[in-house]
A and B are shown apart, each in its own frame.
Chain A
Amino acid sequence: MNEQLNRRLAFLGILIIGLFAALFTRAWYLQVLTTDELSEKARSNYVEIVITEPTRGRILDRHGVVLADNIRSGVITVNQSRYAPGQIDFVLEQLSALIEVPVSTLKSRLDDQQTHPLAAKVVATGLDEYGLLRVSELSLPGVEAKWEMSRIYPQNEIGAHVVGYVGAMSQGQEDRLLQLGYLPSERVGKSGIEQIFEADLHGQPGRTELEVDSTGRVHRILSQTSATPGSDIYLSIDADLQAATESYLRQGLIAARKTVSDDSGFFYPAIGGAAVVMDLRNGDVLSMASHPTYDPNWLVGGITTLEYQSVFENPYAPGALNNRAVQGLYSPGSVFKLITALAGLEARLISPRAAFYDVGYFQIPDKYGCTGRCTFYNADKAPLGIVDLSSAITRSSDAYFYKVAHDLYWIRGDEQWAIQDMAELLGFGSQTGVQLPFEKSGRIGDGDIKEALFETNPDAYNPYGESTQWLPGDNINTGIGQGFVSVTAIQLANAYAAFANGGTLFSPNIVEKVVARSEDRFGSSVIDFDPRIQRIAEFPEGSGVVREGLHGVASKARRGTAWRAFEGYDSSGYAIAGKTGTAQAEGRNPVLQRKKEDSAVFVAWAPRHDPRYVVAVVMEEAGFGGEAAAPVARRILEALRAYEQRWPDPQVAFIPPQPECPEIPEALRGYDAFTSYVPEGCPWGIQVPRANNPEDVDGDGIPDLEERNQ
């Protein structure tokens, strides 16, 4: 008995030891082996993180006109996941009666595919207090009426392509942005400055860590950082000039649509275009227009599919969202002759004053053994007669440049690619680096590019199985900006700016400064965007003659190609230099099902001898550069003059321009044909009538320019 009792007691004792050993082991496991993981869980248990959305920075023009702002806006969201299918209709009917929006519109906004199907969807925006009150009085489950910060673009479509717009974050960027502290409901920049400067505009979200208990009651504030509002972006754009540029471009396109093309006999479709105004002294972009355009406010307030399609999928105005000034690739046409001329001079192929007989075409001499196309005609097959480099540019002689490009082709050595090299030197074929997204780099065709194109996509580029070699004809086409040449409007403006300012190639700045709105002890911080010089080009001897040729573009006396457009233009102190271009577009217009019409191009700078601004205009399928694009540029230049009077630039006021006065023999000085070459301000040039010359303030008959020089 006692023996058995002891045995059983021993068993009980061992059992107890075993149980305690189990407890020890488990405690060791929890508190030593997995303590890190469980501590982390404990922390997330009691810490609640509240994120406050920062106020987005504004976007302003260079003089403080607000282009993108924030407003408080009443929104209604509906969470349809709270309803059985079909039940939501009842709710929508009630809402529709209150806010006077048709049920079908509300429905289409609910069906928006861009956000998560279970998330609350914005069905109405822009409500006032009473609207919100009336909706909340309904107290429908899943329907929320609340104030929200909303983006507004007070100038509507002005600068739309530059400013860009905001929208819900896309699936791809969601993870990255949420890690940066964005709220899932926040809108992010989708294009333009809104996209490029997203990090500055967004600011830093506020973050509060609260200690909460099991029922969510707050016990302590663990840490608090208040939100830092986003920085304001000041653009180099001037809103008025931008509005003028956009309006003139649109008017120019509308006018072109009323013009009949001689080639096809149809009206020009003139589907779109771009215009860029740059300050060529520092590379600031003053205005940048792209047509067709849109109002970014449409894209913020939850646009319906139908609305979206009508604006952004309109076949007659394709690519409204694209900024054609940096994304549109065009053949430059004769505008490119600047490059060819400089390349010819560089290769010492051109003697600037040598006469050339333009017979209306250029034929590759037999001794070179022509393959393929051998005769290249002027645009209208018209012979221009005797030209030199200057008048070949002024009158846009194709034959002259055919010959230059052809001769360059046969220089075997480094200078064979003189045109391509000169184009590259002036920034073609690579991005200019303006602060805008999706900028295209374009291309300047050479042997490698041709071969690559022909091989990757023979159907489009080489349907007849032609040679992939770089032929003389290719170089000849390149010489007048056709063929394998594609450029953007901003590249054109930038290259002409570099030529006009004496060789400084900038990276254009469209942003002037970024101003942080949170003021610390030292005031708000400002980041200035100083001019960015890409390179300084040296132009070959004789480039003055090229300049001279460009000066004549608007001169009737010198039969400049744009003289008609500039007839009656008040050139006093604001004379222009420039070049027209008419580029044949390849392929067919997909909507109209006929060959594409020519695109009109015009680039000019002003004033002629004190270059300050460069204007580039490109119009798709709108006709001749001198007829379609030049009038647009003319009106933009007039607006520029007004702009300068409105915002006088202290730097500009007393820079003495230095006219290049060519030596003209005494005997010839009276003749109009010669004096028209001479710049204003030269003693033997054309004297502008005294009364109309604002530069002769004292009225003594001698222009002030000259007096200053003395």
Chain B
Amino acid sequence: MNLPLRKELRSPLRYADYSLGLVAILLAFIGVALNYSSTWRVLEFNGQDPATYAKRQILFVAIGILVMIGATFLDYRLYRDFANQAYLIVMLALVGVLFFGVERNGARAWYELPGLTFQLQPAEFAKVAVVIALAAFVANKDGNLRLVTLSNAFLMLAVPLGLIYLQPDLGTMLVFIAIGMGVLLVAGAQIKHIVITSLVGIVVVVGMFNSDNLGGPALLRETQEQRLTAFLDPTFDVQGASYNVNQSQIAIGAGGLRGQGWLQGTQTNLNLVPEQETDFIFTALGEEFGFIGISLLLLLYSYMLARMWFITRSSNDLFGTFACVGALSMFTFQIFQNIGMTMGIMPITGIPLPFLSHGGSSTVVAFGLIGLVINISARKHLA
């Protein structure tokens, strides 16, 4: 029975890119190992279970894998129809978090879940919603981005940006901008429009940075301003704003070529790098596995992004292409920004490293997006 089936009737499983899922799971387990190594010593010292964080991360990964599988099986083209609803719900959640959320590290960005030890970060889910909604919006216009369309697209971005600004969470805002720029660039926005918006964006950022100097209200919070200063001048306030920048680079540098071995890093063990299990998880890898470990991780990420790039290219569906570009932009920006900040080539912003950083929302969202991309890859032959 070797009947040539019609393309549309072939099983999507035949085309699905399983390697992407496997790489994601592999990354997630590296993440669990690093979560353990960056927290066990202090937890043990405090008389707690040293694997507390690792166990929690395993739970998040398990949920993430389920979400990924779920996202793979339901035909992604259905999402297009619910894109606007999803967008609306998430925006409401972002509004709600400003009133009902809990504050952590100075940002009101989390919903407390009753009876559970972890919180929900709506901004993470907003990334998915914006990717889908923006892709759907642009796909609906057939990639014909006139100025009006472009303005509407910007408006779609501006709403979540504004809401997240109020939390505030500068890092996540930048992720949205990256998603928007990626999708709109690929979707065919005119270069001059992009250049002009970029210029306007730069002016706005500089204006915010100096708003208090120009006589207006201080739009950027002091910590954000200090972080930028610390990025430009690492000797600024060594025990304060520059502490993270310096300590994370010391940790990575101390790893050397081969690293100090799992659980052996002193910077990692002794809690010398703050926020190490979340935003600075990369320093644990750098110290304990050295340049070889970093190279392997970067190769895994490269493989993941390359696969996504090829899926983007091969998809016959514009919505699929743009959604994939959105996911690609998001991952690229998060990976580069996060690793770049730990190594001192980007300013510090609170952006998690996909699959590695401890955190429920970000892990689940990352897996969900990978599921979406696998979904697109499975149905790339369908128009």
Choose among A9, A20, A37 the residue that contacts B186 (Cβ–Cβ < 8 A).
A9
| Chain A minimum-CB-distance residue to B343 | A26
Chain A stretch 1-48: residues in CB contact (< 8 A) with chain B = 1, 4-6, 8-9, 11-13, 15-16, 19-20, 22-24, 26-28, 30-32, 34-35, 37-39, 41-43, 45-46
Chain A residue numbers with a CB within 8 Å of B305 are 16
A42-B250 contact given A19-B336, A20-B302, A31-B290, CB 8 Å threshold = yes
Q: Does B267 belong to the interface (CB within 8 Å)?
A: yes
Chain B proximity of A49: nearest CB distance (Å):
15
Q: Does A113 belong to the interface (CB within 8 Å)?
A: no
B312–A45 CB distance below 8 A: no
Chain B residue numbers with a CB within 8 Å of A23 are 298, 336, 339-340, 343
Chain B proximity of A600: nearest CB distance (Å):
69
Q: Does B143 belong to the interface (CB within 8 Å)?
A: yes
- Taken together as a complex, chains A and B put the C-alpha atoms of A19 and B309 apart, in Å, by 15
Chain B stretch 53-72: residues in CB contact (< 8 A) with chain A = none
Q: Does B182 belong to the interface (CB within 8 Å)?
A: yes
Chain B stretch 201-220: residues in CB contact (< 8 A) with chain A = none
Q: Does A116 belong to the interface (CB within 8 Å)?
A: no
B157-172 vs A, Cβ < 8 Å mask (1 yes, 0 no): 0000000000000000
A38–B249 CB distance below 8 A: yes
B25-57 vs A, Cβ < 8 Å mask (1 yes, 0 no): 000000000000000011001000000000000
Chain B stretch 265-308: residues in CB contact (< 8 A) with chain A = 266-267, 269-272, 274, 286-287, 290-291, 294-295, 298, 301-302, 305
B185–A45 CB distance below 8 A: no
**How many residues from A make CB contacts under 8 Å with B?**
39
B295–A45 CB distance below 8 A: no
Q: Does B241 belong to the interface (CB within 8 Å)?
A: no
Q: Does A211 belong to the interface (CB within 8 Å)?
A: yes
Chain B proximity of A231: nearest CB distance (Å):
38
Q: Does B321 belong to the interface (CB within 8 Å)?
A: yes
A31–B272 CB distance below 8 A: no
B286–A27 CB distance below 8 A: yes
Chain B residue numbers with a CB within 8 Å of A46 are 266-267, 270, 272
Candidate in A1, A11, A12, A28 with the most chain B CB atoms within 10 angstroms: A12
- Taken together as a complex, chains A and B put the C-alpha atoms of A490 and B272 apart, in Å, by 63
Candidate in B42, B270, B271, B309 with the most chain A CB atoms within 10 angstroms: B270
A9–B253 CB distance below 8 A: no
Chain A residue numbers with a CB within 8 Å of B147 are none
B309–A12 CB distance below 8 A: yes
Q: Does B345 belong to the interface (CB within 8 Å)?
A: yes
Q: Does A215 belong to the interface (CB within 8 Å)?
A: yes
Q: Which of B85-93, B103-111, B254-262 contacts A (4 or more CB under 8 A)?
A: B254-262
| Chain B minimum-CB-distance residue to A22 | B345
Q: Does A317 belong to the interface (CB within 8 Å)?
A: no
| Chain B minimum-CB-distance residue to A15 | B332
Q: Does A453 belong to the interface (CB within 8 Å)?
A: no
Choose among A8, A16, A38, A219 the residue that contacts B250 (Cβ–Cβ < 8 A).
A38
Q: Does A708 belong to the interface (CB within 8 Å)?
A: no
A217–B298 CB distance below 8 A: no
Choose among B253, B271, B286 the residue that contacts A214 (Cβ–Cβ < 8 A).
B271
A42-B266 contact given A12-B328, A20-B302, CB 8 Å threshold = yes
**SS class, residues of chain A in contact with chain B:** helix
Q: Does A329 belong to the interface (CB within 8 Å)?
A: no
A5-B253 contact given A22-B340, A42-B266, CB 8 Å threshold = no
B253–A213 CB distance below 8 A: no
| Chain B minimum-CB-distance residue to A39 | B254
- Taken together as a complex, chains A and B put the C-alpha atoms of A34 and B254 apart, in Å, by 9
Q: Does A705 belong to the interface (CB within 8 Å)?
A: no
- Taken together as a complex, chains A and B put the C-alpha atoms of A41 and B247 apart, in Å, by 9
A12–B182 CB distance below 8 A: yes
- Taken together as a complex, chains A and B put the C-alpha atoms of A30 and B344 apart, in Å, by 10
Q: Does A254 belong to the interface (CB within 8 Å)?
A: no
B255–A31 CB distance below 8 A: yes
B266–A211 CB distance below 8 A: yes
Q: Does B251 belong to the interface (CB within 8 Å)?
A: yes
A13–B309 CB distance below 8 A: yes
Chain A proximity of B288: nearest CB distance (Å):
12
Chain B proximity of A505: nearest CB distance (Å):
63
- Taken together as a complex, chains A and B put the C-alpha atoms of A43 and B182 apart, in Å, by 43
- Taken together as a complex, chains A and B put the C-alpha atoms of A213 and B276 apart, in Å, by 14
Choose among B253, B302, B321, B329 the residue that contacts A30 (Cβ–Cβ < 8 A).
B253
- Taken together as a complex, chains A and B put the C-alpha atoms of A81 and B61 apart, in Å, by 55
- Taken together as a complex, chains A and B put the C-alpha atoms of A610 and B71 apart, in Å, by 114
Chain B residue numbers with a CB within 8 Å of A34 are 253
- Taken together as a complex, chains A and B put the C-alpha atoms of A27 and B290 apart, in Å, by 9
| Chain A minimum-CB-distance residue to B344 | A26
A5–B309 CB distance below 8 A: no
Q: Does B263 belong to the interface (CB within 8 Å)?
A: no
Chain A residue numbers with a CB within 8 Å of B343 are 23, 26-27, 30
Chain B residue numbers with a CB within 8 Å of A211 are 266, 270
Chain A residue numbers with a CB within 8 Å of B240 are none
Chain B residue numbers with a CB within 8 Å of A27 are 252, 286, 291, 294-295, 298, 343
Chain B proximity of A595: nearest CB distance (Å):
69
Chain B residue numbers with a CB within 8 Å of A8 are 185-186, 188
Chain A residue numbers with a CB within 8 Å of B83 are none
Q: Does B221 belong to the interface (CB within 8 Å)?
A: no
Q: Does A212 belong to the interface (CB within 8 Å)?
A: yes
- Taken together as a complex, chains A and B put the C-alpha atoms of A166 and B278 apart, in Å, by 56
Chain B proximity of A11: nearest CB distance (Å):
8
B257–A35 CB distance below 8 A: yes
- Taken together as a complex, chains A and B put the C-alpha atoms of A5 and B312 apart, in Å, by 10
25 sampled A-B residue pairs with Cβ under 8 A: A4-B188, A5-B143, A8-B186, A8-B188, A9-B309, A9-B312, A16-B309, A23-B336, A26-B340, A27-B291, A27-B294, A27-B343, A28-B291, A30-B249, A31-B257, A31-B294, A35-B254, A37-B253, A41-B253, A42-B287, A45-B247, A45-B270, A213-B269, A219-B269, A219-B270
Q: A12-B309, A41-B253 are in contact. List 13 more A-B contacts (CB 8 A).
A: A5-B186, A5-B188, A9-B186, A9-B309, A16-B309, A19-B332, A20-B301, A23-B343, A24-B295, A28-B291, A42-B254, A45-B247, A45-B250
B interface with A by C-beta (< 8 Å): 41-42, 45, 143, 182, 185-186, 188, 247, 249-257, 266-267, 269-272, 274, 286-287, 290-291, 294-295, 298, 301-302, 305, 309, 312-313, 321, 325, 328-329, 332, 336, 339-340, 343-345
The 7 closest A-B pairs by CB, nearest first: A38-B253, A42-B254, A213-B270, A31-B291, A35-B256, A30-B253, A26-B343
